[in-house]
Structure 1
């Protein structure tokens, strides 16, 4: 039987839907040293520590917050083995009062990925899946990924897609071979149309495609937006406007911990022109619904 979450929503002040496992139990990093250095430079996070999952749990526990944790499986395109999803899920299960495990599966793994998705949810308690199309080298609307989407939809858990530019590979010759075009949120529109029962989260302010992301989230009932990867003080005005109005029930707090900490994000969010009645929706209430925790 899959381990159960032990979150107490009434105790939580916020749910961070976007944090990263950057190092395995054995010290294996989630990215190659070259790409990790590029990411640190992009986020001005030079020499930041790669926290263990236990350290991440304690960080959020001290703040009465919960966090979604995942890595990225991009071995086909990057040649770098991922941190095992099973390990992340097991470690999150030890801190089920504050951590929500997501998994990442490379669509290029084909039917093996489909089988693994089912096992991860049914046996390990994984509560969603992360895709990074630019790192994984696929377009979200490519039919190669459709069997995996179908399985995730049947399992009743959400899929989170990186959108917009990425700091990974930034400044590296050729961007490390990473192609930004795959992370245009409009490519996820086909997925949302073809899998209407699949809850989809578009991660990050989607520079340079913010309007496309807003259009998809407004048009498709099953599409949400997380606000990770940027300090709120840099959010484009149309994103703030939609978060306050049409998308107030569809926008989610995410940081990008550890390169952007929840403390930094929340401090800047406090200065953002967000209606008082909308703030708790963004910080917690919307995430409870999207993650299926309001019925847990």
Structure 2
């Protein structure tokens, strides 16, 4: 029987509800088929309550990411965030907080980020996608938002490595993978030593570079959503048990990958119980305490 860990903190998952995928680029049958082929997930949705039940069953507390809100107008963006904050208030035992995705070239979006940082329920952080109009996080359009996060002592999430968005479609939905190189994590962390930067996903095909950045910068961490541990590069597996032991957070990518499946596959990789405790919750608890989040 797959017994869940005593505590599991997930630094990145999506919503299992249909509302949580509002604005998604996966509107056509062709695009949905590509997503199904990548994750073996058929975009079936659950209710708000069913999602909370699934999280409780896995003993998980999750950071949730809408992922596609940067294309919305300001009114729709605010409505979506209010939905997320209301959900977090109703289910504080399973929701750690929310990653906020905006287009920083739109002043109304920047103002909405400011509102979320000051009024949002739970931990609120900024998620940076290089395929937004502002581009990579080292571009000047992001500066105001990064400084807001520094002032609020809240982290940013920067996606690195292979992206599921657009994978298997002609033209990749316009996403270029170069924008997901760890060099952009390095540049932002160097320029803003007061900013906490979390690199999202396994950084393949640039995993060595990402390991170097995480080891070099004390304000850089990694969370590994979207990948089964079975397929982690060997170098990453070695370093998780050694130099990266205190730098890695658990990330799932629910609903595409379930928490139960990933916990079991982490256990199967031969990591010590101490390493697993750190990855599943210990490192996250230390980090959250350092930024004043209980």
Q: Same fold (TM over 0.5)?
A: yes
Instruction: State the match for 2:197 in structure 1.
Output: 200
What TM-score does the superposition give when structure 2 sets the normalisation length? Answer: 0.87
Q: Out of 42, 45, 66, which is 1:50 matched to?
A: 45
Does the 8 Å CA contact 1:15/1:283 hold for their aligned counterparts? yes
Q: Distance in 2 between matches of 1:131 and 1:91?
A: 23
2:157 matches 1:173: no
Does the 8 Å CA contact 1:73/1:136 hold for their aligned counterparts? no
Does the 8 Å CA contact 1:76/1:108 hold for their aligned counterparts? no
Does the 8 Å CA contact 1:17/1:252 hold for their aligned counterparts? yes
Structure 1 unaligned residues grouped into runs of 5+? 1-10
Name the Cα RMSD after superposition.
2.5
Aligned to 1:202, the other structure's residue is in SS state strand
Instruction: State the match for 2:151 in structure 1.
Output: 154
Aligned to 1:278, the other structure's residue is in SS state helix
Q: Distance in 1 between matches of 2:7 and 2:270?
A: 19
Does the 8 Å CA contact 1:21/1:52 hold for their aligned counterparts? no
Structure 2 unaligned residues grouped into runs of 5+? none
Q: Out of 32, 47, 55, which is 1:60 matched to?
A: 55
2:240 matches 1:243: yes
2:265 matches 1:268: yes
What do residues 264-284 of structure 1 show as CA deviations (whole Å, max 9, x unaligned)? Answer: 111111111312221100000
Shift of the alpha carbon at 1:84? 1.5
What do residues 57-89 of structure 1 show as CA deviations (whole Å, max 9, x unaligned)? Answer: 211112222111121245459xxx768222112
- What pairs with 1:222-237 in structure 2 (closer than 5 Å)? 222-237=219-234
Q: Out of 211, 214, 229, which is 2:211 matched to?
A: 214
Does the 8 Å CA contact 1:114/1:151 hold for their aligned counterparts? no
Q: Distance in 1 between matches of 2:131 and 2:234?
A: 26
2:280 matches 1:283: yes
Shift of the alpha carbon at 1:246? 0.9
Aligned residues: 282
What do residues 157-191 of structure 1 show as CA deviations (whole Å, max 9, x unaligned)? Answer: 11111211112211211111111111111111111
Q: Distance in 1 between matches of 2:48 and 2:105?
A: 26
Instruction: State the match for 1:100 in structure 2.
Output: 96
Instruction: State the match for 1:15 in structure 2.
Output: 9
Q: Distance in 2 between matches of 1:257 and 1:38?
A: 17
Q: Distance in 2 between matches of 1:282 and 1:220?
A: 19
Instruction: State the match for 1:185 in structure 2.
Output: 182
